[in-house]
Homo-oligomer: A and B are copies of this chain.
Amino acid sequence: MNKITQLFNIKYPIIQGGMIWNSGYKLASAVSNSGGLGLIGAGSMYPEVLREHIQKCKNATDKPFGVNIPMLYPNIEEIMNIVVEEGVKIVFTSAGNPKTWTSFLKEKGITVVHVVSSSVFALKAQDAGVDAVVAEGFEAGGHNGREETTTLTLIPMVKEKIQIPLIAAGGIATGRGMLAAMILGADGVQVGSRFAASIESSAHNNFKETIINTKEGGTHLTLKELAPVRLVKNKFYYDVQTLYEKCPSQEELVHLLGRARAKKGMFEGDLDEGELEIGQIAGLIHDVLPVEQIIQQMMTEFDVACKEKSKFEF
């Protein structure tokens, strides 16, 4: 038991990333039923779709689960009202100012966690009254911070600045990665890519196959002028890089990006034209597994590594 398992009333300090197009109620409830904290990813859902997933999640598990909400969402007020109406107990917020919604949610008795990429933002989140922060490093898949600070260096720097519980994200897919993050000062971990490559993820099978086929060096942080995002190096990625050779304007980048690329790639399985958001740790993920098995493997490896640690002597 530690600060994070107590905060969420869960067995293991493993939180599933609320990834767009991957994180419906099936994934979230499977993670919660296996002792972690499942999160429904609101970022790719219309408000009424989100409501449906929350209701189905309540039916699929009696364990705690949460909703991840990017605050730049256009229907943000409607979304916030839905999580309150549906009695969601835990909300992770990202992509926005934690001051905007934290007190609204806290007044309703909701546990609030905010995702950051630096200790400056971590302090702001703590000041805004959140219950915990997720600090996410450069190796994470999808949207990412501008300072490019890696998880190994970010976690101890955030730990030095804040007092509230700290969750490490980016580059963690195994029990050893989890233990390493906790040795650095994290109280728990958020895991994305590993759960995207699970049976219960709502992503297209083509995307899941891509995760397990992605080798070391197979992803890159790009589109930094718009919003930095780590993508698999597929045709769309190389189209972006070719455009970069011509020193494009921001408008040209926006035009190439177009709309709904993430849905096209991750949900519809278009591996050429879609945006495929995966973390660097994909190089260590070799199979699509049921969530329960992923969590059991992580915890078994974690326990083995803990015992090793007590034997290091110089």
Query: Chain A residues in contact with chain B, CB under 8 A?
Result: 1-2, 5, 11-13, 118-120, 137-139, 147-154, 156-157, 160, 170-172, 174, 176-177, 179-185, 216-217, 220-221, 247, 279-281, 283-284, 299, 302, 305-314
Contacts and interface: CB of A to CB of B under 8 A. Distances in A.
Nearest to A230: B148
B309 A179 contact: yes
A157 B216 contact: yes
A139 B176 CA distance: 20
A150 B147 contact: no
A216 B120 CA distance: 9
A221 B148 contact: yes
B183 A176 contact: yes
A220 B148 contact: yes
A157 B283 contact: yes
A217 to B, nearest CB: 4
The 6 nearest A-B residue pairs measured at CB:
A247-B247, A147-B217, A180-B180, A150-B150, A152-B171, A153-B280
B179 A152 contact: no
A1 B1 CA distance: 32
A150 B137 contact: yes
Given A139-B152, A183-B183, 6 more contacts: A138-B138, A149-B217, A153-B216, A157-B283, A183-B308, A306-B312
A283 B11 contact: no
A103 to B, nearest CB: 27
14 contacts: A2-B311, A2-B314, A5-B314, A148-B220, A149-B283, A150-B152, A150-B280, A152-B177, A152-B180, A153-B279, A179-B312, A302-B312, A306-B312, A307-B310
Contacts of A1: 313-314
Contacts of A299: 314
Contacts of A308: 183
A153 B302 CA distance: 16
A188 to B, nearest CB: 10
A189 B50 CA distance: 46
Given A152-B150, A281-B153, A306-B312, A179 B174 contact: no
